[in-house]
């Protein structure tokens, strides 16, 4: 069953919800106003609702009228500490912004709940709707799992799906099997020396040259110690030393973001970075304190579920609106925690407005990024169709299992999504 007509019917309501959310973004784990709007939008649908204890999450369960397993659908709800620069009637004025499209994700998931609730008597199973805070940090998926998200319907989901908007011709769905998005990791190094007067460096142990050498050595390490076909992206984004230009500081520090596409590279990078920092510091008569923090793991689409998504969305919207991205994106996503527990797929939906050139459109996280909320009807229909097809297939009522689509049978499209976590 496809739900495009249902999505089109509720589109005005979803647009109104999205714009209300856009005008009042909230940050992190605690989103009381966003949670209130979601609960209000779900009223009357007959859902079993559980609120988070340590975060403003909403978990809503729809019980179908026919027996069957459970599927999970996810939408993240938080904004970013970005001052919006768009001239919109509904733009945010509170110093924060839905610059990554989470307002669309929330409204689209509400739409999927409304569509599936309308057809609940024929629904062969149950659906968990995961409304998640803190995707932008410090991470909401993991604490939701720890609070019982995956057992909310009484049994574990057999599949999980999420959709994320991005720049590109509006309405195009994009995904790939296997690793889709990188892990996010933090590297912090403090080089400890002994301070002194800037005119007498020989009487001090200067940590600044050691830190400067480490910055370039880390870049060389990426290209010399890691396989180009298992890529690593390192960006040193913070450097900090003394406060006065005539004082050699006692210590100097750096902070970096590191993206990897495999667990092996994630583990190894931390080990190699510590070895390098210790060695360079020792060569300068200093010591090094190294903190390696794994934030989000690699987002990996299950091969069979990715093939299912390609088939279902192709049947629903046409094959010309579904494409495979040629390589993973080095941005990160904490839906990865769900996909580590449940086979599923994460999908990009291009949503650049018609009057904006996708080639030059502002990217996610930009204060000028724009998304066309006219995609919300199809976004809701896509989520509902994926859940229905997976449950229907498992129940056997579809008559046959989904046939995997050869990956080379789908033409590539707008592959460059603009996502960073």
CATH number, domain of 218, equals 3.30.70.360
Question: Which residues, other chains included, contact 183 with Cβ-Cβ below 8 Å and sequence gap of 6+?
Answer: 259, 260, 261, 263, 266, 294, 295, 296, 297, 298, 332, 336
pLDDT reported for residue 2: 75
Q: Looking at the structure, tell me whether residues 45 and 166 fall in a common domain.
A: yes
For the CA atoms of 149, 155, 159, 162, the dihedral, rounded to the nearest 10 degrees, stands at -20
For the CA atoms of 102, 106, 111, 112, the dihedral, rounded to the nearest 10 degrees, stands at 90
Q: Looking at the structure, tell me whether residues 34 and 62 fall in a common domain.
A: yes
Structurally, how many domains does the chain consist of?
2
In a domain, 415, yes or no: no
CATH number, domain of 92, equals 3.40.630.10
Select from 296, 326, 359 the last residue of a domain.
Answer: 296
Select from 273, 296, 319 the last residue of a domain.
Answer: 296
Q: Looking at the structure, tell me whether residues 39 and 165 fall in a common domain.
A: yes
Residue 157 has pLDDT above 60, yes or no: yes
Average pLDDT over the chain reads: 94
**For residue range 276-309, what is the model confidence (pLDDT) as tens digits?**
999 999 999 999 999 999 999 999 999 999 999 9
Q: Is 323 helix (H, G, I), strand (E, B) or coil?
A: strand
Q: Looking at the structure, tell me whether residues 245 and 169 fall in a common domain.
A: no
Q: Give, in order, the Cα–Cα distances in Å from 351 to each of 165, 390, 410, 417.
A: 6, 25, 20, 10
Q: Looking at the structure, tell me whether residues 174 and 188 fall in a common domain.
A: no
- Closest C-alpha among 164, 171, 167, 163 to residue 352: 167
Segment 328-350 mean pLDDT? 97
CB atoms near residue 109 (< 10 Å): 31
Q: Extract the tokens encoding 54.
A: 């340590």
Select from 296, 329, 363 the last residue of a domain.
Answer: 296
Residue 216 has pLDDT above 90, yes or no: yes
**For residue range 43-102, what is the model confidence (pLDDT) as tens digits?**
999 999 999 999 999 999 999 999 999 999 999 999 999 999 999 999 999 999 999 999
CB 78 within 8 A of CB 26: yes
Q: Looking at the structure, tell me whether residues 131 and 92 fall in a common domain.
A: yes
pTM for this predicted structure = 0.91
Question: Which residues, other chains included, contact 188 with Cβ-Cβ below 8 Å and sequence gap of 6+?
Answer: 253, 254, 255, 256, 290, 291, 293
Phi, psi of 56 (to 5 degrees): -85, 50
Exposed e or buried b for every residue in 216-243, given b needs 16+ CB within 10 A? Answer: eebeebbeeebeeeebbebebeeeebbe
127: phi > 0 → left, psi -120 to 50 → alpha, else beta; which?
beta
pLDDT reported for residue 421: 44
Return d(Cα 26, Cα 77) in angstroms, integer: 8
CB 241 within 8 A of CB 174: no
Distance of CA 203 to the CA centre of its chain: 50
Domain housing 38: 4-181+298-409
Residue 416 has pLDDT above 90, yes or no: no
């Amino acid at each position: 069953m496809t739900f495009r007509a249902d999505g089109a019917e509720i589109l005005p309501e979803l647009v109104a919800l999205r714009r209300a959310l856009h005008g009042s973004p909230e940050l992190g784990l605690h989103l009381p106003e966003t949670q209130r709007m979601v609960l209000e939008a779900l009223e009357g649908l007959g859902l079993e609702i559980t609120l988070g204890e340590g975060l403003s999450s909403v978990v809503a369960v729809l019980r179908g009228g026919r027996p069957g397993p459970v599927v999970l659908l996810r939408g993240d709800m938080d904004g970013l500490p970005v001052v919006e620069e768009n001239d919109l009637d509904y733009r945010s004025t509170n110093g924060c912004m839905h610059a990554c499209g989470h307002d669309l994700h929330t409204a689209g998931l509400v739409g999927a709940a409304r569509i599936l609730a309308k057809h609940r008597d024929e629904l062969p199973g149950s659906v968990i709707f995961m409304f998640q805070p803190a995707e932008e940090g410090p991470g909401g998926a993991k604490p939701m799992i720890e609070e019982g998200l995956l057992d909310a319907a009484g049994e574990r989901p057999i599949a999980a799906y999420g959709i994320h908007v991005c720049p590109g011709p509006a309405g195009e769905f994009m995904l790939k099997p296997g690793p889709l998005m990188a892990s996010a990791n933090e590297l912090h190094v403090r080089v400890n020396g002994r301070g002194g007067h800037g005119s007498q460096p020989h009487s001090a142990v200067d940590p600044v040259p050691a830190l400067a050498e480490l910055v370039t050595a880390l870049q060389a390490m990426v290209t010399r110690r890691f396989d180009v076909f298992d890529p690593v992206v390192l960006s040193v984004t913070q450097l900090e030393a003394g406060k006065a230009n005539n004082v050699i500081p006692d210590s100097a520090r750096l902070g970096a973001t590191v993206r990897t596409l495999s667990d092996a590279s994630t583990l190894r990078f931390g080990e190699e970075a510590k070895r390098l920092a210790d060695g360079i510091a020792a060569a300068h008569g200093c010591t090094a304190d190294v903190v390696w923090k794994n934030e989000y793991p690699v987002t990996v689409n299950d091969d069979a579920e990715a093939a299912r998504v390609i088939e279902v969305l192709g049947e629903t919207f046409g094959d010309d609106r579904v494409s495979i991205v040629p390589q993973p994106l080095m941005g990160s996503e904490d839906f990865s925690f769900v996909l580590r527990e449940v086979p599923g797929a994460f999908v990009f939906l291009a949503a650049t407005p018609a009057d904006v050139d996708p080639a030059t459109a502002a990217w996610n996280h930009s204060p000028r990024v724009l998304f066309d909320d006219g995609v919300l009807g199809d976004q809701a229909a896509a989520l509902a169709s994926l859940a229905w097809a997976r449950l229907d297939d498992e129940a056997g009522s579809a008559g046959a299992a989904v046939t995997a689509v050869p990956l080379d049978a789908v033409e590539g499209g707008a592959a460059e999504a603009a996502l960073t976590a």
